[in-house]
Structures are given as structure tokens and as C-alpha cells.
Amino acid sequence: MVQKLLYEHVDVFTDKPFRGNQLAVFSNPGKLTKAQMQMIAREINYSETTFIFPSKSKNIDAKVRIFTPAEEIPFAGHPVLGTAYVLIKKKKGKKPATITLELDVGPIAVDVAKSTKNETKLTMHQPVPEFGPAIQNRGQVARAVGVKGFDLLGGGVVSNGLDFLIVEVRDEEVVKKSKLNSEEALNVMKRHKIIGIYLFSRKEGKKINIHSRFFAPSLAVYEDPATGSAAGALGGYLARIFKFPLKFKLMIEQGKEMGRPSLLEVSVHCDRGMVQAVEVSGSVVSVGSGSILVP
């Protein structure tokens, strides 16, 4: 029997439609199997698609499963914000100030920073990052993202539920001109046991301004327009470089090279030489809705 399932289409990390990162949210997936959810995510072919289920915990608003076109993942940034946005919009009466989602990495709280008719700004409280080894082969990493070896300044593995290779390069122009070499990138991912490569440059000021790109060919996400989970990992990475200040903020632009400009805000809180909390904020807008037939 064919099922007709409805979904919401939102753009995340933008205050205008047709920018940021696309997300399809299925609020009532019924009894879909994992294979069916994967099939739907592959058909829609956004970076991620989410499916909302009831949670058995009284303190959790919903259980959320996240799928890329290639596989299910335990956590991701823009799917958390986008799914929270859909849940908030669907609640009747007074809107909640916080939504808590159950993910495979544990509960994630999402706060409403502001809300208007066309846009809602949300803040997620991410898992505290953990730090792995530094880049093991600079030449290989440089080739993987199409930059010169001397433009690569450093980097290492950071995990916050997902494992990323954070790679810093000399300046914004290097980031803009970078180009994914899928074969080399897959070798880097296998060597470092990561899901993707987060390339960035920075300019210091009152806020640290970041220009970034994210490549994850093994997930069938060859480039991502906005990567909230990796942005949080970057905050933890820079906290070590800055020698763990009490608090700092990042303003991150991503997705320009794809024609989908995105803006992500990261706040990092430190104490006694350790990262204590990471918050990632961004706006979400509705773009539309649709249905899909599932055999």
C-alpha cells in the first residue's frame, strides 16, 4: 500500500528563502522503516532530511532521526534548528521558549532567541567538543581540498557527536578557490576517521570573522552550504588556540561559493582551561511544503 507523507521545507542559517541550508522535515512519518527513511532522504537529496517521532521521556519534546542522502547520522546542526522551528510553529497557543530534542548523541536544547512572522532565530546547546590528533599528512589534506601546501596553516580532529577535520588556511581567497578532490578527500577521511573536512580562514576583531566551506563526499554531501555541527567544533578548536578565554563569539559565513550564503553564530564558554559550553545560533525561514508517495 502506498503511503502519502507530508513534509515541511525550511531554509536554515538564513533570514531569506532560497539561501542557507535546505531541510525537509517529516512531522508524521508513521511506521517508516530505516530503509524507507533512507530512500526518502536520497530522493529529496538535501544535505539532510529529518523524521520526528514521539519521545518516551517526559522532558523531551520529540525524538528526531537525521539522514543524509547516504546514511543516518547521530547529530547535525541545521537539522536540529530546522526541526525545532517546525515543532515550534506547529504548537498551538503560546509558543515555547525552549524545545528539547532527543538525538542519538543525547538531548539537545534549542532556545528561541527571537521570532517574527517570516523568521525565527534559534540557539542550540551543542555537546562539548573533544579533541583528537592533529593533521597527519598536510600534503594529502591540501590536495584533498585543492589548495597549496604552504597555504595550509594547521588543523586537527574535533568531535562533538560527529568527527570533523578542522583545517585552517591562510586567508579567505584560499577558501574561495579551494576545490574538492573526492578521491583524496576520501583517503583523508579514512586516515583520520572523520565524516568531513571543514576548511576555514579567520580575521580577528571584536568578533572573530570566519569564512568556511565543508566537504563530506562519503555522506554524498560534496559541499554543504551551512554546517552547524562543524561550526561548534570549530569554536572548540579555536578555544585552544586562544588559550581558553572565558567567552568568545564567532560570526561564520558559509555557502557563498554555492550560491546559498549562510550566516552562523557561535558562542564558546570556557573555564579553567576547558570548554564548558558551545552554542550555535541561526535564523530559519519557511520555504514551502510538499508530499511524497512511499511504497
Residues acting as catalytic residues: 48
Q: Report DSSP state, residue 6.
A: E
Q: How far apart are CA 169 and CA 152, in angstroms?
A: 4
**By C-alpha distance, which of 154, 151, 161, 105 is closest to 133?**
154
Q: Report DSSP state, residue 49.
A: E
Strand partners, 227: none
Q: How far apart are CA 233 and CA 171, in angstroms?
A: 20
Give the chain's end-to-end CA distance (angstroms, integer). 6
DSSP for 66-123, please give it. Answer: EE-SS-EES--HHHHHHHHHHHHHH--SSPPSEEEEEETTEEEEEEEEEE-SS-EEEE
Contacts of 35 (CB under 8 A, 6+ apart): none
Query: What pairing do the DSSP bridges indicate for beta strands 98-103 and 62-67?
Result: parallel
> Which residue type, as a one-letter code, is found at position 69?
P
Angle, to 10 degrees, between the axis of helix 228-241 and the axis of helix 77-90? 130
